[in-house]
Amino acid sequence: MSMSLAQELNTVTLFERLGGAAGVRRIVDGAIAAHMCNPIIRERFIPYEDRPEYVEEVKKHTCDFFAAGSGGPDNYRGRSMAEAHRGMNISAAEYEAASNDIMNTMTALKYDGTSRSMVHDVLRTLESVILHK
């Protein structure tokens, strides 16, 4: 996304940097497709393969979650992160694998380094809330 210096100086939100709701949706679609092929976490998502309506619901929640957490509209109606991942006992290696899928998706979609490092920072703050629940 390109923007003028004046816009940059005017504290553009991360949500705007990501391209708004459409940009977030592209990142979520790409990341979930990557999770389905990632040998470290694929198993976790296989049970959802034959539940496309449920996957769509989780994707919608994930888009709303990222929008709310990046300065966009707050329509998040999903569970808390601890609640959503309760009973999964997600390891640090799995968390890193999921984060890498998101970062690689952003690189493939040609997001700039600043946007990528801002998303990376958000992911780091969520780690302790999601791990080993």
- Which residue has its beta carbon closest to ligand HEM? 78
**CA–CA separation, 35 and 103 (whole Å):** 12
> Residue 17 or 35: which CB sits closer to ligand HEM?
35
Q: How far is the CB of 8 from ligand HEM (least distance, A)?
A: 26
Scored b (16 or more CB within 10 A) or e, 21-54 reads bebbbbbbebbbebbbebebbeebeeeeeeeeee
Instruction: State the number of binding residues for ligand HEM (CB under 6 A).
Output: 18
Shorter beta-carbon distance to ligand HEM: residue 17 or 101: 101
> Please, which residue, 99 or 104, has the CB nearer to ligand HEM?
99
Half-sphere exposure of 14 (CA within 13 A, CB side): 17
Q: Which of 16, 99, 103, 133 binds ligand HEM (CB under 6 A)?
A: 99
